């Protein structure tokens, strides 16, 4: 697909997967199904966490926030992606690109911090079981969730604004399927070395620092679990932490490849598929992981369906 300045008239062209047209129809179906599953799965988690009294705990309070983040995050990206996959037009308006950049960056950053908060909650549940209710009291839970959302908002206002203010000299062809900072800064017609350093530093703060807190939390959890000699207690600890650990692995395993190495080839080739994983696949898997591996959620779903089916 040719990209000319006269053909886009102030719009950005999301090149996306147009260099592999045979793949676009398959991706359209996969992305559409994944998006629908994301909406249904995360909405169900929000619903049962809100109405089931047995799920009125800090863990499910934070899980509700995670599900809300996932719904909004994918919605900021997937509808435009589906529109571009179904036809030859690959454009997005300048305003649409700016909104997508701000919203997706804010929610992605929020999820990074929220996963660290959830790790601290799991640490308190396993390592401080007798004082869990006192430690994870409602005011602290609301404060921690607020910190996560405000961190995402602050990061996007800084990074997003700096990125959009870069002069592009008419360059509007993004080698990506959505407006993301690493691909956006490559359109600049000035030296972007300072921007890459700023992006790297921001990534250290909002990616690696939360990841370090997660690893510290699980390090303490591992010490406690290793001292447990009861098989039943082992299983309970694994059930308490297993779902969150899987979600962390899926999310951080892909997003760090994009933001920690902005100058690498990921930004143009493998990056599109890596980004597809953490923007589309991971939000779909999150509710499945928490549903299939979590006894409390499965029991809450059973109670909900039985109540709906009862005469």
Q: Where are the domains of the chain?
A: 8-309
Residue 265 confidence (pLDDT) above 50: no
Return d(Cα 208, Cα 112) in angstroms, integer.
9
Return d(Cα 43, Cα 221) in angstroms, integer.
30
Edge to edge, the sheet with strand 12-14 lists 91-92, 12-14, 173-174
Confidence (pLDDT) at 3: 39
Confidence (pLDDT) at 64: 94
pTM of the model: 0.87
pLDDT average, residue stretch 128-144: 92
56-72 burial string, b = 16+ CB within 10 Å, else e?
ebbbbbbbbbbbbbbbb
Task: Please state, as a whole number, how many other Cβ atoms lie within 10 Å of the Cβ of residue 225.
Answer: 18
- The mean pLDDT value of the chain amounts to 84
21 burial level (CB within 10 Å; 0-12, 13-18, 19+): exposed
3-state SS assignment for residue 13: strand
Judging by DSSP bridges, how do beta strands 91-92 and 12-14 pair with one another?
antiparallel
CA distances from 148 to 103, 106, 110 (A): 14, 10, 5
Confidence (pLDDT) at 91: 87
Nearest in space to 170 (alpha carbons), one of 38, 1, 7, 26: 7
21 is written with which tokens?
A: 């047209």
Judging by DSSP bridges, how do beta strands 91-92 and 173-174 pair with one another?
unpaired
| pLDDT band at residue 266 under the 50/70/90 scheme | very low
Confidence (pLDDT) at 307: 61
Residue 281 confidence (pLDDT) above 70: yes
Residue 136 confidence (pLDDT) above 90: yes
CA distances from 279 to 68, 89, 105, 146, 183 (A): 14, 22, 11, 23, 15
pLDDT average, residue stretch 15-39: 89
CATH of domain 8-309: 1.20.1070.10
Give the distance, in angstroms, between the CA of residue 278 and the centroid of all CA atoms in the same chain.
Answer: 6
H helix or E strand, kind and range, residue 86: none
């Amino acid at each position: 697909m040719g990209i000319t300045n006269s053909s886009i008239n102030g719009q950005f062209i999301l090149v996306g997967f147009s260099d592999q047209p045979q793949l676009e129809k398959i991706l359209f179906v996969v992305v559409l199904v994944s998006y629908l599953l994301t909406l249904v799965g995360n909405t169900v988690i929000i619903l049962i966490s809100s109405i089931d009294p047995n799920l009125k705990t800090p863990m499910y309070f934070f899980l509700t926030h995670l599900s809300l983040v996932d719904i909004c995050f994918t919605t900021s990206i997937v509808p435009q992606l589906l529109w571009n996959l179904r036809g030859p037009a690959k454009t997005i308006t300048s305003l649409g690109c700016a909104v997508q950049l701000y919203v997706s960056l804010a929610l992605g950053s929020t999820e990074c911090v929220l996963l660290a908060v959830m790790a601290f909650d799991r640490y308190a549940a396993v390592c401080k079981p007798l004082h869990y209710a006192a430690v994870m009291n409602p005011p602290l839970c609301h404060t921690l969730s607020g910190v996560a959302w405000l961190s995402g908002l602050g990061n996007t206002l800084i990074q997003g604004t700096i990125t959009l203010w870069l002069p592009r000299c008419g360059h509007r062809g993004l080698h990506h399927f959505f407006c993301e900072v690493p691909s956006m800064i490559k359109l600049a017609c000035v030296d972007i070395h300072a921007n890459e350093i700023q992006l790297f530093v921001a990534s250290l703060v909002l990616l690696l620092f939360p990841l370090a807190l997660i690893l510290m939390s699980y390090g303490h959890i591992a010490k406690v679990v290793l001292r447990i000699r009861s098989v039943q207690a082992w299983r309970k600890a694994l059930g308490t932490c297993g779902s969150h650990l899987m979600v962390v692995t899926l999310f951080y395993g892909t997003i760090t490849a994009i933001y920690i190495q902005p100058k690498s080839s990921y930004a143009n080739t493998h990056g599109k598929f890596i980004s597809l994983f953490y923007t589309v696949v991971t939000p779909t898997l999150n509710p499945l992981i928490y549903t299939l591996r979590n006894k409390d959620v499965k029991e809450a779903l059973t109670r909900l369906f039985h109540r709906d089916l009862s005469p």
